[in-house]
Every structure is written in structure tokens, then in C-alpha cells.
Structure 1
Amino acid sequence: MRRVFVNLLVPFVLGLLMAVPGHTSSLRAEPRPTAYVDPFIGTDGTGHTFPGPGMPFGMVQPGPDNADSGWAFTSGYQYRAPLILGFSQTRASGTGIPELGDVLLQPSQTRRTEFASPYDKASEVATPGYYAVYLSDNQVRVELTAGVRTALHRYTFDAPGRVYVLVDLQHGLTFRTDAQPVLAERSGLTADGVEGVMRRSNWTSRTVAFSVRFDHPVVESTTLPPRPGDAAPRYLLAFDLGAGRELNVRVGLSTVDVEGARANRDAVSGRDFDGVRRGAVAAWDDLLGRIEIAADNTRKRIFYTALYHAFLHPSTISDVDGRWRGPHGEVLRADGGERYSTLSLWDTFRAAHPLYTLLVPERVDDFVLSLLDHADAMGRLPKWPIWGGETGTMIGEPALPVIADAWAKGFRGFDGERALAAMIRTSTVDAIPVFPGDHALSTWSLFDRFGYYPFDLAGGEAVSRTLEAGIGDDATARMAAGLARSDLAGRFSSRAGAWRSLVDPETRLARGRDSTGGWREPFDPLTPTSPLNNPGDYTEANAWQYSWTPALHDPDGLVEAMGGPTGFRTMLDRFFFELPSLEGWTYLGQEAMIGQYAHGNEPSHHIAWLYAHTDAPERGHQLVARIARDFYRDTPDGIIGNEDAGQLSAWYVFATLGFYPVTPASGTYVAGLPLVDHAVLRVPGREPLTIRRTGAGDRLLNLTLDGRPQAPTSLPHSHLVQGGALLFEAGREP
């Protein structure tokens, strides 16, 4: 019903505005961007997003949890799940491993022993900065909103009088079966709530300080029996509402201590629930409004929801006073600015971080400083940090291209020499496993000995690890060159070419080699492997999917290795149009496949754009449009594959605009064709950039910025941020 109403209303309003004399721009007649955002997109199936509220890049994201474990519930929520366990305050959007889900609250009209409740699906509402639902058994309407570090709950019960709230400190989103929360320091009741500090161990070890305050005093409390293996308490609190039916809650969290949680909780002091909600909506409208597109309502819903998802993370980790807890448990302080965590770097270095440099430049320096502070504490740059702790997840060193990308695009709010030193340490010193048996970390002593990772010594994923080492080495070389360190630039640029030693001359695909130089036998380039079914040479992919990885730093070299421009196009055509899709292996999401292209996972994301390096660029343009059309929808199952903290959404945003950061650390983009005829980027401090597509057809004939020709395979970021008119002229293929 909500969508039907919007679809009817928008054209009516636009018609009235167009009738006003002097009104000429349909872009200016648009409703607020938040009117097009549907947080339910991606909540059904593999997207793993959540419908709860949050601020852009905020610390807290309160929301409903339907379960506390399982791959389907990494954000705590699935659209069709029948029960709500309660409402926790933190989560990660679209990840492949569950984490966070701290401090669960569950209200009830009556005292209960089972707190999970069915809910009225028709009552469920989600918009940027707001979520609401009615719990049928618990007889209460729950509303949620959020500031940057503060979660606000408003409960409206069916009847006045005594009501109850479960405060479950044992709850967390987990994939482990052993004890999760371990109580440390202090925890206990106050006159109007609960405060304390927990140590938790799941994906990473972390500290959670919390301060929960109700707007009515606690009149009765019961400490519930602990679940097996858990040390943290669960409280059932009672409140007398008198003749009223409403109970309000504020929750502040911190990685440091209770004092920090209190200060964060009170950072929105003096603003009631509705005021905080209005502030969240205004913040989202301001940020999402940096792009206007001319498109139908369906495409706008997909686009602005993608932009919304892309701006949920990285998450603020520093308190209002600048303190935050680092990866070894030490308390650090940010001297100005913010510090961030929830950095899914293996995913987001590809498109999400380049999108931040384009649309939220005011955050980029602090993103990099967060990486550098982490490196100071850990001795190396992070791979996948969350809540300040390191998970050690995924391969390669994906922080390296994020830093080099920022430097290449002119960001100077961090010390370049400090950054280069951290990049060199990360690229030369063997990583210490975060958990026993972790073979995916960089072992440079092995890599430098052989010039690649031998599959008989590396422990798994040897080809993928070798190829991704090149991405990091190239980034370090570019950073060194930017600082006039030609010796270091040459050293790492040379090592970045290690991928060539794994190119099988017969198949032109990347193939495993052992410590004697022998090829992997037998070799089936269609067989996918992953950490879940090793031994194998590839990370969540097969030889066909991973062999395009060198294009992320050396596209010209890859073109040459695959037989020159003609051979390169032939390989791309075979990849997309001649090979069968994967059968019987659902890890990649086979429903999101075109031939061997798997859009549900990141190693494929740049491949369609590589047709720009061939004599048939229109095939890439057609594929990008097909991927955007077939694999993104404005429905709860509208994200095929894990959203991965914004990466899948960032791909869609770039595709809509008509260019993509194939080689992120280069500071350039590869141009295709926009999916809309008109878009405008308005970023504070920059001149507007107007994007137009003209002509019929699906081949890019000319690309100009204010009339100046631009190279489609190397569109400079520095040109785009100066603003102007970026014109894509399309036509038919010759």
C-alpha cells in the first residue's frame, strides 16, 4: 500500500509543479531523497541488510533481531522470519559473518517467560532514521530512531499501568557455539536503567560499554537465570506508567567505559524521540541529496536505497570526547575528527571507498587516519576491523589501495610519510594469525622466496593471494612515487608483476604452481573453491573469475597476457557468453550469474567494464545495464549476494553515473554509459558536476567535460571534482 500511494502521488505533485510558470527543471521538482529509500530492500535472502534506523556512518543501528545466529541472520534480520526476539543496538549491514547485536531490549505488556513475539507485518515501517512494528503477543508498538552514538526506543503499550522490559546482555549475533558475552568490570541496575561493561568474543574480541536510561524509574527488577556458558546477566525490569501508555528509552554505547557511554547517550540531550528522528531524516536528505537523477520512481527507489546502504558504513567508533579502544584493548584518542571501524576492506576498496572520495570527501581523511591509527597499534594495517577489533578476515592487504586512492585524488589530511611507512610494514612483515590455522594472511617471507604463493606450502587460496598481493604492491608503489621515493616505487612496482608467473600460457588463466614451479594438476578452471571447501587455489571463485584480478592495477598488462586487444575481447566473450553458469554451488549466488560472471561476489565486479579496453566497448555497456536491471530490484529480495557494507550498492551508484573505478589507486575511472539521461552531483565545496547522456544506441562515441575530450579508459577524478558538464554521446556500433 505504501508503494502504491507513492507511485500515485509523485506524478500528481510533479504535474502541479510543472504547471507553475517558469518551472523548467524536473530535477528540482523532486520529493526529498529519503522518500525513495526503502530499507527493506535486501532484507530477504542473501542481501543481509537490516531495516533499523541509523545515522550516516553512525556508531549505533538499533533494530529487530529475529535470531541470534546463522549465516542468514548476519544482521539479525530476515524479512520473512515470524518472530522478533527483541531490539539490539548494533549491527553490520550485509556482511557474511554475524557480529555485534549488543544490548537487546524487548518490551511486553505482561510478565512473560518467553519474550520472543510474533509481529504484525502490516504494521512494520522502515524509513531512513525510523523503524516501527507492533508485537502481537507482547501487545506493544515499538518505534526506534538514532543519533550518531545514541539509540532511542519508544514503546506504546496497549494498556496503562505496569509494563515490563527485558534487558538481555547475553544476546549477540554470533556464529560461534561457545560462550559469547563475558562480564567484566561492573554491571548493574540504576534507579532508571542499567549500565556496565562487557567483554565479548566472537568474530573478534571487543569491549562494549553501555548506559541504558528509561524515562520512568525501575519499580521492580528480576535477574533471570543465565543461559549455559554465559556470564552476563539478563534483567526483567518493571515500570509503572500510571495512566500513560508510553515508555521511552535512551541507549548510549562506547568501546571505552561507562562514562563514555553516558556521554554518548546524552549527546542528543534535550531532543525528544521525534526531534532525533527529524535530525536523522535531515542528515540523510542532505547526504543523499548530493546526487539528483532523472529516472522513473522504480529506478529512484533502487538508486537512493543503494546510496543509503553505501553510507551506513564505515561506522563511527570514537566517543564524543574522541576516545576509542584500539585493537589490542588500548584506549586511544582522536585529536580532532572521528575514528571509524566496520571496514569490510576486501569488498569496499573496489567501489565503496572510491565513492566516498567522490561524494563524501569530508570523511575520507578520517577514514585513512583510522587505518593508520590501527596500524600504529597493531604494527600493520587492518584487513577487516569491526568495533575497533581486527578479525583478520579475507586475503590480500586491501587497506593499501584505499590509502593510495585517497592520496592519488589529492587528500592531504594525513601524513603521507606515515602512511607510506605503514604500507611498507604491511607489505614486508609477515602477518601474525588472528586465530589458529588462519592461512589467508600475508606471509611475505614465503612470497618473496618463490615470487608467488606455492599451493603446496601456502595452505590454500594460493592463486588468489598472489593476485591480490599485486593490488597492494601496486598501491604501495604509487604511494611511494607520489612521495618521490623512486627506489621504493620501483621495488614494489616490480613485485606487483608477480601475477605473470601464474598465467598458464595454454589457457591464459591464472593457475596454481607448487614450490618446484610445477602447475596444478589436474586443472579445472570452472571448479570454484573457497575457505569453506579448501584445499583450493581461489577465494570464493574459480580460475575464470579470478584471472581478471590484475586489471585492478595493471589492465594493460592483462590485455597483453591474454593475447592483446583481440585475444582479450575473445576471452571476455567466452567468459560472459560461452561458458556455463555454475551449477550446484550456491556460495556465489548462482542466481546472479551471466556465464561465469558472478555479480553476487566482489571478484567479478570490475569485469564488464574491461570491454572498454577492446574494440567492442558496447558489449560492456550492455552488460552493465543488464546487471543493473536483472540483479537490483526494489523488493525485499532485491539485492542478490551479500551487500558487504556498501560494495554492491556502490557498484550500482557508479553504474548509474556511467563510470567505475576499475583501478582504484590510479585516481581514474573507466567510462561506460550512464543508466540515466541526466544526473547532477552537488558536493559542498565543489562546483556541480552535470552528467548527460545523449544519442541513441549503446556504444560510447564521445566523452567530453565542458567540451574537452576525455579518455574513456582513464577518466581523471581530478577533472570530475572541478565540476562542469560531463557529456556521454551514445550511438550505434560501427
Structure 2
Amino acid sequence: MIDRRTLLAMAAAACASPLFGRAEEDRAGLVDPFIGTDGTGHTFPGPSRPFGMIQPGPDNAASGWDFTSGYQYRAPRILGFSQNRASGTGIPELGDVLLQPGIERREDLSSTYAKASEIARPGYYAVTLADNGVRVELTSTLRSAFHRYRFARGGRVWLLVDLQHGLTFRTDRQPVQSVGNSFSANAFEGEAVRQNWTSRHVAWSVQFDQAIAAVETLPPRAGDAAPRYLLGFDLGADAVLKARIGLSTTDRDGARRNRDERGGWDFDAVTAESRSEWNTLLGRVRIEAPQEQQHIFATALYHLFLHPSVVSDVDGRWRGPDGSVRQAAKGLRYSTLSLWDSFRAANPLYTLLVPERVDDFVNTLLDHCDVAGRLPKWPIWGGETGTMIGEPALPVIADAWAKGFRGFDGRRALGAMVATSTRDAGPLYPGDDSLSVWSLYDRYGYYPVDLVRGEAVSRSLEAGIGDAATARMAAMLGKPAMARRFATRAGGWRMLIDPETRLARGRDSKGQWRAPFDPLVPTSPLNNPGDYTEANAWQYTWTPALHDVYGLIAAWGGKAGLKAMLDRFFFGLPATKGAEFLGQEAMIGQYAHGNEPSHHIAWLYAFTDTPEVGHRLIARIAHDFYRASPAGILGNEDAGQMSAWYVFAALGFYPVDPSSGTYVAAVPLVDRATIAVPGHHALVIERRGAGDRLKALRLRGHAVSPTRMPHGALAAGGRLVFET
């Protein structure tokens, strides 16, 4: 075991590296990757390139809801360093090819570590393993991980290679259906088929800058289906070992090419390149704000740009949801698409901040539909998980077309949208007996509670979001009859508004209301029977506003009715307690910012005569539920959605109707912001006055409706002035 004095010296030497400038020197220096790593944020501190395929990092555990990214800030031990993961999700996945170095030969090389030795910056992570006598440093390219190990001494050192390791939820070991691995003088390669959240194929190619001196196969543990090895290396006086790791969804050749996409062994140069790339991207949005808010905002942008993750190899190949290897016609293909979360704000924000990626995002969805027969719901590593409800790819596509993106075939897109909205679930989605059984939905106009397994109300309301998006797409492409068909079906939510409670309530196949009915009890697949998805009746009743806000206002008797419902929701009802796993956290009354169904609700005050109430609530949510600390995200980050909400709030507008190409205004949380995307005119946002009510909104000197700000006008740049 290494002594404490040596540990501190190693950490100090790393901290003194010229790679780490002061926070005010660049935008990347404002980011704190530890934000959201403590509690339910489920983020991770490891390095990544923007939208990176590879995201290496420390794993404190291999299973459990707390470790969906592999990491928890206060966990005392590190098992090792795996090469891929998802940021902020509620289900663990990936965690492939775990490596763990040490100076002693032990089968268990897990280690304690001092928090003071841990560093995380965009493009770089480092920690000193106290029990193993080694300083671990990680960086990455787009498709490969780069490790550097500084051992406390030279001579024979060891590296655990754990191919069984993977992040899983319900079991101690991630199931492995097949696996193969082979060694050469200074490398090993292999591939496996794994079954966890989805069935996925992963190939790897790992190369070292030193020859492998010994290979020992460790005896399998109970539940293991893949091998573990101890590799020995004989190091010189510098006691440094480097490893480059490529992964692929395709095969070993793909993993090898991904590993070598940058080439060379200059770890510091790769780290500097990553930081430079992050600095350029984060510099697209600048705000004038106090230092703490700068950290929160920059980190929110950073988290936003981690996903979706590139899934296509250097040569454009990728493995689709049917298991076949495909070739991207052009551009990149992506996965880790948390669509039920991201369609609400993250995807609309991508259209504003990274428009050059939007066409490839959509083409990814369409390619998926080509082989699956329907658009995806929640794909990761190229495979479909079938997770969550509704058809959240539909508003993503319609929103892109409404905003003028034309790098994908509109007719092909509409065909995919119609197929997804009319065909019952196919064989790629076993066990889903309600979401896409359109024959059942069309018969009743909603999902009856006695004919589906659960979440009937939420599924019905989310179906309306997709139908409205398909109707809009059809109208934009000159298909009026098709547009009318889906627009009519999108109005089915009215059949579930109970006139007695004015809330969305379950009905059976005979039209009878669900009884007994408690609108404050949240339900989900984890505690069904229940009619709502990670929410309750009060929280899900606001869903129609995502596509038909004026219809919902009319159903409640106009602006006064909307205000009365909003006031009761935020100020007249108790907060739900003891259901954090359902997203019932970060509560204001029944508003639960810890989960996505609530995210648009405070913005609806813009449609009342007291918009300032919403402005104050938005500011309160941003202040209370986002902090510059490890516990600074209350609720799963969900691959960028929680962060997207904060970015929009800071800028002063939000996509309440996320397939319309428009935004709803509030009051910016900063005095000034500038959005400068290469190839586009800069948008300068100014808040004038110290009031809490928006009095006027002007873009390039012209008045703009605060409830229907057009994306095209914002993307054209100029000065957007909020007068308060």
C-alpha cells in the first residue's frame, strides 16, 4: 500500500500540470463535472468529447439504481475504470471493459481513494488509488479512451481486465450471452453479446505502450459469464503505463479503427485537444452572471452536449436495432437518445445551439425505422430498450422540419411518422401490449384502464403529443387530409378530463371513471396498477399543453380557470413525500421538477393575466434546484433534459410546445447572454429593468409575442430585449 505522503505528492504534481488553467481563462474552466454526481442526478465525472461514443470513468459499483452511471460522489471505493456509460439516466447500462491498475498482484484490485486527489475537467479525469499505489488519468477522443497510469514504483505491476463487468439494475452481474477475446504482444481484442437494458453487441481493441509480460486468467466468480484477467507489465524507472481503448458496435476491425482514429501516445496533447474542443463549443453561449451561476450554466451546457452519443465507427458503420451492421449514407449516427425526456427541451435546444448536428439526429431516427418498422423510443448502443411511453421521436422530427432543417427527406420522415402512429407494436418490442396498439386506441379514443397493464392515462395523453406532431408534419408537406386525421385523434385527451375534478382520470372500456381515485398518488411501472408514468393525476393533467395549450385553457373555462388550476397546483396542494424513485423530488406544491412531466408547467403562467407568478417560479426553481455542488441536480439529469431546462430558463424562453418551432417567454435569469453559432448571426439577449414582470419583448426592434416566439426569427440573430 502506498503511503499518504507519496499519494499527496502525486496528486499535487498532477494538479500543477499546465493543462489546468484558472476557471476564468476559458469556458471549459467554468465546468464542474462533479455537479450532479451526488444523489439522484446520476451524472459522472469522467472525460468525454462532445457527443462522444466513449465516456470512460470510475465505477464505484456495478449494479443498483444509485449507480446508473457507475459513480456516486460519496462512494468510498473504486472498482475500476470502464469505457462507456450514460449520463443521468434512471437505468444502468454499458460499463464495458473495466481496467484497474495496481502495484501488487491481487484478484480484487478495488481501492479506496482520497477525494482531495480526484480531479475532473472537460476532457480529463484523475484520481490516486490509495490501496494500489497508482495515479490514474483518463482522457478521450470521439471514439476512443486513453488511460495513463503513474505507478509508485517501477518493475512488475498489474492490471485487472474485467470483461464480465457491466452496469446493471436487477442482477449482480450483467448477463453475457457470448464472448471472445485474444491477446497479442501489447494488445488484446474481443467482442461480446450482452443482454441488460437491451441486447447489444460490443467489440473492443485495447493497445498498451508497453509489452504484456504476463497473462493470468482469474477463476470465475458466481454469476460470471465472461473472463477476467491479470496482466503483468515490467516498467522502467518512469513507472508509467498507457492504454488506448477503442469500442464499436460492429466488430474488432471497427474497434481497432476507432482506437486509432487519433493515434500516438501523447496523452497531454489529446487532453489539450479535448479541452480546446469543449472550449470552442461551450463558447457558443456566454452569459453575464455571478461566478456561481456561471459554473451552473457552463456545466449545464456541458451535460447537454454529452448526449446523444455518436454510435457510428470511423468508417461510418454501425449496428442497428435488428442486429445487422449498416453503413451511414453520410454524416454521423447517434444513440443514447433519451427521447421521452429530451423531446421536451434538449432536442429543441440542439436546434438552436448545435444546428449542424440536427439533420444527423433525425436521419438516425429514420435509419432506425427502416429496420425496426417504427421510430425509436429509447435507443442505446444502437439497440432499442423500448423504455418509457408515447412516441417521443415524432415531435423531434416535426420540430426540426418546422425550423427549416432540410438535410433529411421530408416524405421519408412523414412515412416513418405515420407508420409509427398506425402500426401495432412489432416483434422488436416484446411485452409492450399497450403503447402502440393503435387498433385499441382508435376503437376507444384512449387506452381503457381495464385493457392495458398500466399507465393508461399517461399513455393516452402522450399519444396526443405524437399525433399533433404527425398532423403538423403532414400539413407542412401539403397533406391536408392526413393532417386532419391526426389532428382529430390528437384531441382525444378531452375524453379523459373528468368534469368533477377537472383532472385527467382513467376510464375503462365502458366509459366508467376509475374509482377510487386519488389524484395525489404517483404511480409508475414499479408500483402499478396505476394510470400514470412516474407522476400522478395532477402532474400529468398538464400534458395536453405540450401541443394544445389553448384547448386545455378552453376546457378549464379560459384564462381565469387556467390560473386557478395553476395556483392550486403550486400553492394549494401538499408536496408528495417518499417517492423520489418516481421523480417526486424538487417539489413546489405538486410541481415535481425532478421529473419531466412537470417541466413546462411554470411557463404556462404566460397564458394568464399574471405571468409574473410564473417568472418568479422559474427563478425559484433555477435557484433552489440547481447548485454548484455535487448534489446540485435534484432528479435524474436524463441525458441533458434537466440541464436544457436550466439553459432555457437563463436565456428567458422555453419550448412549451416542442414540435411547433416556437417558444414561450419569461424573464431571463441573467442580464445579458450571447448565442454565437459559427455560420449564423449572433443573438444578443438583454434584460432591461429590475421588475419581475415582462412588459415588452422586442427582437431587432420589433415586438414579439411572448407566447409564440418564432425559432426562425431567433436563429436569424439580432438583439432580443426583455423589458421588465
* TM range, smaller chain: over 0.9
How far 1:301 sits from its partner (Å)?
0.4
Matched, 1:140 2:143: no
Amino acid at match of 2:410: G
Residue by residue over 1:413-470, the C-alpha shift from the partner in whole angstroms, topping out at 9 and shown as x without a partner, is: 0000000000000000011375654445321011001111000102110100010000
How far 1:113 sits from its partner (Å)?
2.3
| Pick aligned residue for 2:188 from 178, 189, 194 | 194
Q: Distance between the aligned counterparts of 1:98 and 1:658, measured in 2?
A: 34
- 2:45 match: 51
Q: Distance between the aligned counterparts of 2:583 and 2:85, measured in 1?
A: 23
How far 1:181 sits from its partner (Å)?
4.6
- 1:617 match: 611
How far 1:518 sits from its partner (Å)?
0.7
| Pick aligned residue for 1:374 from 368, 373, 379 | 368
Amino acid at match of 1:286: T
Amino acid at match of 1:662: V
Contact 1:47/1:637 (8 A) holds in 2:
yes
- 1:515 match: 509
How far 1:225 sits from its partner (Å)?
1.1
- 1:298 match: 292
Q: Distance between the aligned counterparts of 1:639 and 1:575, measured in 2?
A: 23
| Pick aligned residue for 2:326 from 322, 332, 349 | 332
Amino acid at match of 1:130: Y
| Pick aligned residue for 2:718 from 721, 724, 728 | 724
Distance 1:578 1:455, change over 3 A: same
How far 1:525 sits from its partner (Å)?
1.0
Amino acid at match of 1:535: P
- 2:174 match: 180
| Pick aligned residue for 1:341 from 335, 342, 356 | 335
Contact 2:49/2:141 (8 A) holds in 1:
yes
Amino acid at match of 1:210: W
- 2:302 match: 308
Contact 1:142/1:154 (8 A) holds in 2:
yes
SS state of the match for residue 664, structure 1? coil
- 1:88 match: 82
| Pick aligned residue for 1:40 from 34, 59, 62 | 34
Q: Within 5 A, what are the aligned runs for 1:46-125?
A: 46-125=40-119
How far 1:31 sits from its partner (Å)?
2.9
Amino acid at match of 1:463: V
SS state of the match for residue 699, structure 1? coil
Q: Distance between the aligned counterparts of 1:487 and 1:437, measured in 2?
A: 33
Residue by residue over 1:701-732, the C-alpha shift from the partner in whole angstroms, topping out at 9 and shown as x without a partner, is: 000001100000000000001100000000xx
Q: Distance between the aligned counterparts of 2:434 and 2:141, measured in 1?
A: 37
Greater CA drift, 506-515 or 655-664? 506-515
Q: Distance between the aligned counterparts of 1:230 and 1:541, measured in 2?
A: 37
Residue by residue over 1:609-651, the C-alpha shift from the partner in whole angstroms, topping out at 9 and shown as x without a partner, is: 0001000000000000000000000000000000000000000
Contact 2:524/2:582 (8 A) holds in 1:
no
Greater CA drift, 151-160 or 516-525? 516-525
Amino acid at match of 2:673: A
TM-score, normalised to structure 2, is 0.96
How far 1:243 sits from its partner (Å)?
2.1
| Pick aligned residue for 2:450 from 456, 464, 471 | 456
Amino acid at match of 1:555: V
Q: Distance between the aligned counterparts of 1:590 and 1:255, measured in 2?
A: 36
List structure 1 segments (4+ residues) > 6 angstroms apart after TM superposition: none
Residue by residue over 1:250-300, the C-alpha shift from the partner in whole angstroms, topping out at 9 and shown as x without a partner, is: 000000010000000000113611111111101111110001100010000
Q: Distance between the aligned counterparts of 1:144 and 1:584, measured in 2?
A: 38
Contact 1:88/1:105 (8 A) holds in 2:
yes
Matched, 1:230 2:229: no
How far 1:590 sits from its partner (Å)?
4.3
Q: Distance between the aligned counterparts of 2:496 and 2:252, measured in 1?
A: 53
Matched, 1:416 2:406: no
Q: Within 5 A, what are the aligned runs for 1:185-264?
A: 186-264=180-258
Q: Within 5 A, what are the aligned runs for 1:492-641?
A: 492-641=486-635
Amino acid at match of 1:53: P
Amino acid at match of 1:532: L
- 1:18 match: none
- 2:347 match: 353
Q: Distance between the aligned counterparts of 1:236 and 1:705, measured in 2?
A: 63
Amino acid at match of 1:134: T
SS state of the match for residue 567, structure 2? helix
- 2:281 match: 287
- 2:441 match: 447
Distance 1:591 1:296, change over 3 A: same
Q: Distance between the aligned counterparts of 1:648 and 1:340, measured in 2?
A: 20
Percent of aligned pairs with the same residue?
69
Greater CA drift, 360-369 or 221-230? 221-230
Residue by residue over 1:334-354, the C-alpha shift from the partner in whole angstroms, topping out at 9 and shown as x without a partner, is: 122100000000000000000
Q: Distance between the aligned counterparts of 1:218 and 1:341, measured in 2?
A: 34
Unaligned runs of 5+ in 2: 1-7, 16-21
Residue by residue over 1:225-268, the C-alpha shift from the partner in whole angstroms, topping out at 9 and shown as x without a partner, is: 12233332111000001222100000000000100000000001
How far 1:178 sits from its partner (Å)?
7.5
Matched, 1:162 2:164: no
Matched, 1:655 2:649: yes
Corresponding residue pairs, total = 706
Amino acid at match of 2:211: P
Distance 1:456 1:486, change over 3 A: same
